[in-house]
Amino acid sequence: MKHASASQIKQFSRCPREWHLQRYTDLPTPESSKAAALGKELHKQIEIERTTGTPAPSPLVAPGRQYWPKGGKTEHAFTLTDGPVPVVGVIDIMTPTEVIDHKTTSDLARALTPERLARDPQMLLYAHAHGGDPVRLTHLYYSTKRPQCVRVSVVVARSEIDRRVKDIYAMIAAQMQPLATKSIDSFAIPGRLSACGAFGGCPYIKFCSTKKQGGPKMANLKELLAARRTQAEVIAPEAPTRETPQPKPDPQQVIPLTIEEVAAMVTPEMDRAEVKELIADKMQLKRVHASKIDQAMGTSKPKPAPFSYPTPAPAPTAPGLVVLVDCLPTSPGAQCVTLAEVLAPVIAAYPTDPQLVDYGKGIAEVVAAAAEDLPRSGYLLVNSDNPYWGRFSQTVYEAAIGVIRAVK
Closest by CA to 392, choosing from 330, 336, 329, 323, is 323
Per-residue pLDDT, averaged over 34-53, amounts to 92
Please provide residue 18's backbone torsions phi and psi, each rounded to the nearest 5 degrees: -60, -40
- Residues sharing a CB contact under 8 Å with residue 51, sequence separation 6 or more, in sequence order: 74, 75
pLDDT (0 to 100) of residue 305? 59
Ordered domains of the chain (ranges, CATH): 4-187 (3.90.320.10), 259-297 (no CATH), 321-405 (no CATH)
| Cα dihedral 70/76/80/85 (nearest 10) | 140
Which residue did the predictor score with more confidence, 287 or 32?
287
User: Whole-angstrom Cα distance, residue 140 to residue 143?
Assistant: 10
Choose among 253, 267, 268, 261: nearest CA to 292: 261
DSSP 99-132: EEEEEEES-GGGSPPHHHHTT-HHHHHHHHHH--
State residue 219 phi and psi, 5-degree precision.
-70, 150
pLDDT at site 224: 45
Report whether pLDDT(249) > 80. Answer: no
Say which DSSP state 403 is in: E
What whole-number distance in Å separates Cα of residue 223 and Cα of residue 221? 5
Mean pLDDT taken over the chain: 81
Indicate whether 369 pLDDT > 60: yes
Cα–Cα nearest to 102, from 77, 128, 59, 67:
67
> What percentage of the chain carries pLDDT values higher than 90?
32
Q: Is the pLDDT of residue 268 over 80?
A: no
Q: What confidence tens digit (pLDDT) does each residue in 374-405 have?
A: 888 888 899 998 888 888 888 888 888 888 88
Contact 318, 379 (CB under 8 A): yes
pLDDT at 169: 92
User: Dihedral (C-alpha) 15, 18, 22, 27: value to the nearest 10 degrees?
Assistant: 170
Supply the Cα-derived Rg of the chain in whole angstroms: 39
pLDDT at 209: 57
Report whether pLDDT(155) > 80: yes
Most confident of 1-15, 187-201, 308-322: 1-15
Say if CB 144 and CB 181 are below 8 A apart: no
Task: Calculate mean pLDDT across residues 26-41.
Answer: 82
Residue predicted with more confidence, 198 or 82: 82
Tell me, what's the pLDDT at 250?
Answer: 53
Longest Cα separation, the chain: 111
What is the mean predicted confidence (pLDDT) over 54-66? 95
pLDDT of residue 319: 62
Strand 4-5 to 73-80 pairing: unpaired
What's the CA gap between 47 and 73, in Å, rounded?
Answer: 10
- Over residues 135-161, mean pLDDT: 95
Position 153 confidence tier, pLDDT thresholds 50, 70, 90? very high
How does residue 165 score in pLDDT terms, banded at 50, 70 and 90?
very high
Q: pLDDT band at 240, cuts 50/70/90?
A: very low
Highest mean pLDDT among 84-88, 282-286, 315-319, 325-329: 84-88
Cα separation, 17 vs 202, whole angstroms = 11
Q: What is the average pLDDT across 168-177?
A: 90
* DSSP H or E run through 165: helix 158-171
Any residues with CB less than 8 A from the CB of 284 and at least 6 apart, and which?
254, 256
